[in-house]
Structure 1
C-alpha cells in the first residue's frame, strides 16, 4: 500500500503544482495556438505581418514581432482581450518593446478599457513618438480604472514603417497582478436563462385574412413598444423573443376585438406594475425626429389599452438597457439579439419575429426614417404575409433582403447568412469588370490581365443581352433585391452581379462600336479571379505630379504619413486634384483637409438618438477642421462618383470646406454615418446608418449624396479611347481658375 500511495501522491502533487503555475492570461506569448505560429488567444489588428519570434526575445521562449514589410495599409497590432469585471482605482500595463527602423509613425504598448457601449479610456503611446531603432526597453501605461468597464484590451501597435517586438506584458489593478485577482460576480439576467423555444416557436398560425394581418400588425407595434420602453424588459428580466411565442397561439386564434384587447391587457400586466418615473424627461423641444406614437390613439383598441400603453411610455425605462446600448459614435447598439444561426430556415413564429425585430429597430432607431419613400407604417402589414408565406430558405432570405431595401440605405444589405441568395446569383463570375456608362452596361477593365485575350471583349464594349434577355428586362426582374440609397448606387451594385451565373458559361450579345456581336463568355470561380483588385487598396504611391504642374492624389492608397509629404511637394503647384472615386485607405478628413482652410471651419454636424427616449433624435455639435501651419491657396478639385461612399463621402464634405474647392463628377452613394449591426433569425446580419450626417446648415447627405458643383460623367467614347474625362475636366478647371487670377 505504501509503495502505491507514495507515487500516487507525487502524481497528484505534480498535477496540482503544474495547474497552479499556469497563468490565467497568456500575456507573455509563451502559449501558442496548436495549429498556427501565433500566440494563443491573441488577436491580430491591421494588415501588417504578425508572427512569433524565437530568436529576438526578452525572456522565455517567444516574443511577438510586427513587420510592415510587403504589407498593405498603415498599421499592425496584436491585442489580448480580458474581461473588465474587476474593482479598483488604477490600472497599469507593463511591457517590453524593441524597435528596428520605425519611421513615418510610432510604436507603442496599448491599453484600452471599454464599457458596454463605448471606449472609456485608453493609451497607445503615440504621444511618446517612439521610433527608430531601440533595444528592449520596459514601458508603462497607467490611468484611472473606469467604474463601468466591461473589457480590457492589452496589446502593442506599429504605425508607419519598420519592425517592432513585444514581450512580457503584465497587467495590474491597484498594484495587484491581474493573473491572481478574482473577478466580480457577473450580473445574471433572467432573459438569458429562458430556453423554452430554442428548438422552435411552436406557433401554429391559422389561415391569414385581412383581420388577422391587422391584428398581427398591432401586436408587432406593441411588442416593439414594450421592448424599448417597459422597465422590466429593459432590465433583462424577460426574453422578449420568447414572450412573443408564449402568447401568439391564443392571440392569433381570437377573432373578436374585445377578446384580443383583453389578451393584450393581460399580457402587459404580466410584466408588473410600472411605477411612476421621476427622471423621465419630456421630449426635447429641439428634437428633429420624435417618437411616433400616433398609432396608439389611432389604433382600433379600447381606451383602457391605450391608457396602459401611454402609461408605459410616460414612465419608460431609464438607464442601462438589456437590448440597447450606445455605440462609440453615439449610434444605437443592439445588444443581446440572438441570430438563431442554427435554424437557417426559421419557422413561422421566428420569421414573424424577424419582421417585428427589424421593423421596430427602424421605427425607433433609424435616423433617416423620415426620408424613406414608402410610409414605414404601411410596411409592417405589407410584409406580414410575405414573411409568413416564405416557403424555403431562399425565399426567406429574399424577402428579408427586399424588406431591407425599403429603408433605402446603401449601408443596409445582407452580409451574413445569405448563402442561398449567393447560390441563386451564381458561383461563377465574369473575367471582366462592367459599369453602367450612359445607361449602358460597359466593359471597363479585366480582373486578371492574362485573361484579356480569351474573353474576346475590349474595354468599351457594350453588353446588350445575357442569354438572349435584354439587360433592361433583367434589371426589372432583380432590382428590388439590391438595397441602395439612390439609383446610381443601385446600378453600381447590380452591375457587379449581372454576368454571374450558376453555370460556367453565358451567352452575351454586345456592341463593339463596329456592330453587334455574339459570343459565349467563360466564367470562373471566385478563387480563380483577382476579383477585388479594382477596389482593394494597394501599395502604389498615392500621389504624383501631372505634366501640367498639377498635383494628383488618389485616396485609394493614401497613408496618413503621406499628408506631410503632399503638403511639401505640392505647395508650388497650379492646383491639386483629389480622387475619391474609391474608399480611402486611411482616414484623412482632418490631416489632409486642414491644408485647404485658413481658419477653424465646421463642415458637418450629426444627430444622436436619446437612449432614454427611443425614437427621439437631436443634433449634436459638428466636426470642425483646424487649419494647418500653411494654407494651400490654389484651386482644389475633388472627383467623386457612385463608388464614393460613407467615409469617402465624409472626406468629400471636409474637403468641400476649403474656399477654393470645386467638386466634380456624379452623385455619390448617399450613405454616411457610423453603422449599427442588426442580427436577424436565420443567422442573418445587416447594417443601418446609425447616425445622421448633415452639412452645418442642416442639408442632408443621406440618399442625396455629395452633389458635385459640376456634373461630369465618363462616356463610352472616352472609355474606348482610354481617357479619364474627369481628370481632364479637373485640369481644365484648374487652368481656367489660374488664368483668372
Structure 2
C-alpha cells in the first residue's frame, strides 16, 4: 500500500509539473473569473466572446463565439505568441464545435507576422465549415518564415451561429511549442515587471487648474523620458508602471517648487547618464525638428531644465525597447501592452492611454503640423475628459475624440471599439447613401429586391431621421469620425447615418420635389449585400465605344497588365478608374507604361529613430519607362473613395506624358500606416510616413487635386449616369 501511495504521489507530481511548464494558455484552462474570459486571449471583431464551462472538449473550459450581427460581422478569439523559435514548418491543431452557422464559416486561424507585415496566413475559409457539427479536430500548416516575429492563433467565425474551440496545439517541425527551447534573445527587465497588471492603484483627486497643469507637465516629461532616456530605451524599466509609481507622490505636491523637486528626484532615480558619443545634432536640412518647446511653458527651475536637456543630448541610440522602424520607413510601436482586462474607470490607465497616444503623435506623426489644433495644447484639453471616464463606452468615445484630433483618415477605429459599434446599431438600410450636392442622397441599392419594400427611389434626398435634421445629426457626431478632410468625413458618416438598433426608423425625404415620410425597414448586416460592387464584368478591363480602353483597379491582377498593354496599345485613350482601392500594387508595373522617360513622382518624409521628432525628406522616387510607352491619352478617375494606395497610384499615373486627373478631391490619407494599441485593446492607426510630390507639395489632408473637377449630380444619379466616366470619354474624344 505504501508503494502504491508513492506511485500515486509521483504521478501527481509529474502531472503538476507538466501543467506548470505550459507557457501558453492554448487549452483555455487558465480562466479569468472576473472578466469571464480565457486568460491571455484577446478579442478581434464584434461578436460576443466568452469562456464556456458547459461545452468543453476536455478540461473545464472552452472558448465560445456567438454572433451578434454587429460591426464587421465576425468574431475571433486570438492568442499572441512571440516567434522566438527556429524551424521550417508550423502547424496548428485544435478542436472546434459549431452550431447553426449560416452565411459564413467557422475555423482555426494561424497568422505569422514579421517585418511589419503578414508573412503567412490561413483561416480555413476555403474549407467552408458551416452548419452544425460536433467536436472535430482541424489543422492548419504553413511555412515558418525565418523573419517571423509574432505568431497569432485564433478561433474565428463569420455569419450567424455559434462556435466553440478547445485544446489548441502549435508544433514547429513536429515539436510542441510548449516544450520548445526559445532562441537566444535579450532579457528585458521591463517585461518582468507585473506589479500593476490588474489595476494602477491610482485615484486622481478632484481636478483644478493647477493639478491639470501638473498632469500635463508629467505627461510630457513621461513621454520625453520614454523615447530619449537610455535606461528606458534599453528596456530596463516598464515605463507604464513607472508612471503609476511616481503618480502618488507627484499628486501630493503643494507648489511648483515641490513639483519640480519631485520630477528631478524621479529622473535621477534612473542613474547617471553616460555621455553619448554617437548622438548627432538635428540636421539643419530636416523638415521637422524635435519639438521640446513645452519645457518653457511651465516655469521649470534651472536644475530641472538642465536635467531634461542633458537627457536629450545623451539620448538613447539604436534599437529601442518601445520603437523600431520597418522596411517602409514608418515607425513601429513595439512592447506596448494592450491591457485587455483593465477596469475602464481606472484613473491611472485612462491617463496612461492619453499620455501614450499624445506622445506617439508628438514624436512620430509626420503630419502633426497639419492638424487643426496645435498638438501641444491637446493634452491639457483631454486630461479632464479621460480622468472623468466611468465605463468602457465613455472611454471609447474619449479615445475616438482624441484620435479624431490628428485629422487623418487612416486613423481607423475598427478593433476594440465594440461599445461604439453597438450604439451605432446592428441594423442597416438596403441601399447606399452618399452626400451629393451637400445632401444625403440614395445612390443605389445593395439589395434591389428590397426597393419595393423600402419605397425609396434612387436620387431621393433624405432630410430627417427620427425627426432630427441631417444637419443637426452631423453637428453632433462629426467629432467622432476621424478624417483628413471634409469629403472623407462625410463619406464615412454616410455609411452610419441610417444604422440603428431598431428594425425600422422614420425618415423624411424628398422624392420628385415632393416631401414624404415613411418608416424605413432595416436589416441585419448579413442580410444586406454590403459588399456591393458596381462593376460586373469578368475582367478588370474592357473596350468602350469609340476605341477607348477602360480599367478598374478594384479587381486588377498583375497578370492582367501585359494583356491590357497589348489590347489597348492602339486605342485613342485609356481611362483608369481609381474610385476604389486597388486589388494589386500597380504604380510601377502599369505606371511605367504612361511615361516616356524616367520621371520622379513622389518623395517621402521619414522619421529618425535616433532623434525622435526629426523628419527628413528622401530623394524623389522615379517611375522608369518600360520601353513601350503608351501614345494615347490617359484619364484617371478619382473621388473621396480614393484613399491611401489609390492616391499613391494616382500620383504615379499623374507623372505620365498625357495624363488628366478627373473627379473630386480624394481622402487625403496616403503613406504606409503605423498601428497604435491603447489600453483596453483598442487599435488605431496613423499615416506613418509623409507623402509629397517631388516639389514638396503635400498630399496629406489635401488629397489628389483633379485637373478637371467634376462631381456626380442628383439629376445624373436619378438618370443612372456615371458623369465622371462621361467626362473622361469626352476629354479623350476631343483630344483625338
TM range (shorter): 0.7 to 0.9
Distance 1:413 1:179 in 2: 35
Report whether the alignment pairs 1:395 with 2:394: yes
Alignment of 1:711-730 (within 5 A): 711-730=709-728
What's 1:664 paired with? 662
What's 1:590 paired with? 588
Q: CA deviation at 1:737?
A: 1.0
What's 2:242 paired with? 243
What's 2:729 paired with? 731
What's 1:556 paired with? 554
What's 1:288 paired with? 287
Q: CA deviation at 1:328?
A: 2.5
Q: CA deviation at 1:183?
A: 4.8
Decide which moves more: 188-197 or 478-487: 188-197
Report whether the alignment pairs 1:262 with 2:269: no
Q: CA deviation at 1:285?
A: 1.8
Report if the CA contact (8 A) 1:224-1:360 is conserved. yes
Q: CA deviation at 1:180?
A: 12
Distance 2:144 2:677 in 1: 37
Distance 1:294 1:347 in 2: 31
What's 2:462 paired with? 463
Report if the CA contact (8 A) 2:85-2:180 is conserved. no
What's 1:71 paired with? none
Distance 2:244 2:546 in 1: 69
Query: TM-score of the superposition, structure 2-length normalised?
Result: 0.78
Distance 2:325 2:315 in 1: 17
Report if the CA contact (8 A) 1:417-1:685 is conserved. yes
What's 1:407 paired with? 406
Corresponding residue SS for 1:552: strand
Distance 1:533 1:277 in 2: 58
Corresponding residue SS for 1:370: helix
Q: CA deviation at 1:363?
A: 0.2
Distance 1:408 1:573 in 2: 41
Report if the CA contact (8 A) 2:115-2:327 is conserved. no
Corresponding residue SS for 2:684: strand
Select 1:697's aligned residue among 689, 695, 698.
695
Write the deviation string for residues 417-441 of structure 1: whole angstroms up to 9, x where unpaired.
1111111111111111100000000
What's 1:477 paired with? 476
Q: CA deviation at 1:82?
A: 9.3
> 1:202–1:547: structure 2 CA closer, same or farther, 3 Å change rule?
same
Distance 2:265 2:643 in 1: 48
Report if the CA contact (8 A) 2:441-2:461 is conserved. yes
Select 1:631's aligned residue among 612, 629, 632.
629
> 1:585–1:207: structure 2 CA closer, same or farther, 3 Å change rule?
same
Report if the CA contact (8 A) 2:345-2:389 is conserved. no
What's 2:51 paired with? none
Distance 2:503 2:112 in 1: 50
What's 2:647 paired with? 649
What's 2:487 paired with? 488
Task: Structure 1 unaligned segments of length 5 or more: list them.
Answer: 20-80, 94-111, 123-140, 154-168, 173-177
What's 1:234 paired with? 233
Report if the CA contact (8 A) 2:654-2:661 is conserved. yes
Task: Structure 2 unaligned segments of length 5 or more: list them.
Answer: 19-80, 90-110, 121-142, 153-170
Distance 2:497 2:82 in 1: 46
Query: TM-score of the superposition, structure 1-length normalised?
Result: 0.77
Write the deviation string for residues 320-353 of structure 1: whole angstroms up to 9, x where unpaired.
1110011221110000111211126251110010
Q: CA deviation at 1:528?
A: 1.5
What's 1:65 paired with? none
Report if the CA contact (8 A) 1:116-1:325 is conserved. no
What's 1:541 paired with? 539
> 1:502–1:171: structure 2 CA closer, same or farther, 3 Å change rule?
closer
Aligned residues: 613
What's 1:157 paired with? none
Distance 1:529 1:219 in 2: 49
Distance 2:334 2:659 in 1: 42
Corresponding residue SS for 1:621: coil
Write the deviation string for residues 382-408 of structure 1: whole angstroms up to 9, x where unpaired.
000011112222111111101111000
Distance 2:151 2:466 in 1: 56
Report if the CA contact (8 A) 2:675-2:684 is conserved. yes
What's 1:204 paired with? 203
Report if the CA contact (8 A) 1:343-1:683 is conserved. no
Q: CA deviation at 1:185?
A: 3.0
> 1:336–1:649: structure 2 CA closer, same or farther, 3 Å change rule?
same
Alignment of 1:584-623 (within 5 A): 584-623=582-621
Alignment of 1:116-127 (within 5 A): none
Report whether the alignment pairs 1:507 with 2:511: no
